[in-house]
């Protein structure tokens, strides 16, 4: 994957790394966030759409255009997360027994072999460092990490990947860094980035962690159900969105928890990633899976 000139400067030169240290300061990040949420940033929207060739078909665009860049970046899509059940319906409904893609992006499945250091996009870290929880990390030894990389052109709203009960939520503050490959070669990005995760008890897949990871410049994670009347969530229910900044979603699954659809592997690109859409089925119904890890 080709990196931009600006990223090569920021991570590959001494002056660039000095500038980067300034850019990731909380005050700078907050100032950037205020600008991107202001009317002064609205002019960026048409340029961004052209540059990244974003398909605006089905986007809920307000009359008169988006009021700010972040209003555009967090846009809603009319067809997103359709078909979710109401809370009153049975958990044996349309998506029971399935694991779904929580977002648009590129999926990389990575086996976890014990509590060892392993790579996610050229970054080495342990599960314990990532979760800040030794006992929780041990639950996923010999399990599977599903890494979803969102690009600038992707839809930045995301949903729950499975039916389940949320056991707890955790927010981990961190330095905000770009998650593009050139950055990953220089610093332990996933260890340092801000992140939020929920630990869930699912009916079909056992214990599961769904984590959002923010990045430079702002990378703000906006989750919608941090305080809930009920802790039960439904697959394809909207979970939240990212404001501007590189972003990644991670699912952690226990050993032998899921079987994937064979068609997913047939779509791998030249980087070994699988293009996916938010709400897309990743597994067949239990007992009907045609391709297992």
Euclidean distance between CA atoms 37 and 244, whole angstroms: 10
The one catalytic residue among 68, 247, 283, 284: 247
- Residue 247 bears catalytic tag: yes
21: Cβ contacts below 8 Å, ≥ 6 apart: none
The one catalytic residue among 104, 163, 194, 284: 104
Euclidean distance between CA atoms 167 and 253, whole angstroms: 15
Euclidean distance between CA atoms 286 and 284, whole angstroms: 6
- Residue 283 bears catalytic tag: no
| E strand segments, the chain | 105-111, 118-120, 123-125, 144-150, 157-159, 164-172, 195-202, 206-213, 221-223, 232-233, 238-242, 247-253, 259-260, 274-276, 291-292
| First-to-last C-alpha distance (Å) of the chain | 26
293: Cβ contacts below 8 Å, ≥ 6 apart: 109, 111, 144, 256, 258, 259, 260
154: Cβ contacts below 8 Å, ≥ 6 apart: 103, 104, 105
Are 66 and 60 in contact by the 8 Å Cβ rule? The answer is no
3 state DSSP class of 48: helix
Q: Which residues are catalytic?
A: 104, 247
């Amino acid at each position: 994957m080709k990196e931009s000139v600006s990223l090569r400067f920021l991570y590959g030169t001494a002056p660039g790394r000095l500038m980067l240290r300034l850019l990731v300061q909380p005050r700078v990040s907050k100032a950037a966030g205020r600008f991107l949420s202001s009317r002064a940033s609205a002019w960026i929207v048409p340029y961004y759409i052209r540059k990244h060739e974003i398909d605006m078909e089905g986007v809920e665009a307000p009359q008169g255009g988006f009021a700010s860049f972040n209003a555009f970046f967090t846009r809603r899509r009319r067809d997103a997360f359709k078909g979710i059940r109401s809370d009153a319906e049975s958990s044996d409904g349309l998506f029971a027994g399935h694991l779904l893609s929580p977002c648009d992006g590129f999926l990389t499945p990575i086996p976890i072999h014990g509590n060892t250091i392993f790579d996610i996009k050229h970054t080495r870290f342990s599960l314990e460092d990532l979760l800040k929880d030794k006992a929780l990390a041990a639950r996923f030894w010999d399990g599977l990490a599903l890494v979803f990389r969102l690009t600038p052109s992707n839809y930045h709203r995301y949903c729950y990947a499975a039916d389940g009960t949320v056991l707890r939520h955790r927010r981990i503050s961190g330095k905000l860094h770009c998650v593009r490959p050139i950055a990953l070669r220089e610093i332990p990005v996933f260890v340092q980035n801000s992140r939020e995760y929920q630990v869930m008890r699912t009916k079909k897949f056992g214990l599961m962690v769904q984590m959002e990871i923010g990045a430079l410049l702002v990378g703000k994670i906006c989750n919608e159900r941090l305080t809930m009347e009920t802790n039960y969530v439904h697959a394809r229910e909207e979970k939240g969105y990212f404001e501007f900044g590189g972003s990644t979603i991670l699912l952690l699954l226990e050993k032998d928890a899921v079987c994937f659809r064979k068609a997913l592997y047939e779509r791998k690109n030249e980087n070994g990633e699988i293009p996916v859409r938010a709400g897309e089925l990743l597994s067949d119904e239990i007992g009907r899976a045609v391709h297992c890890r």
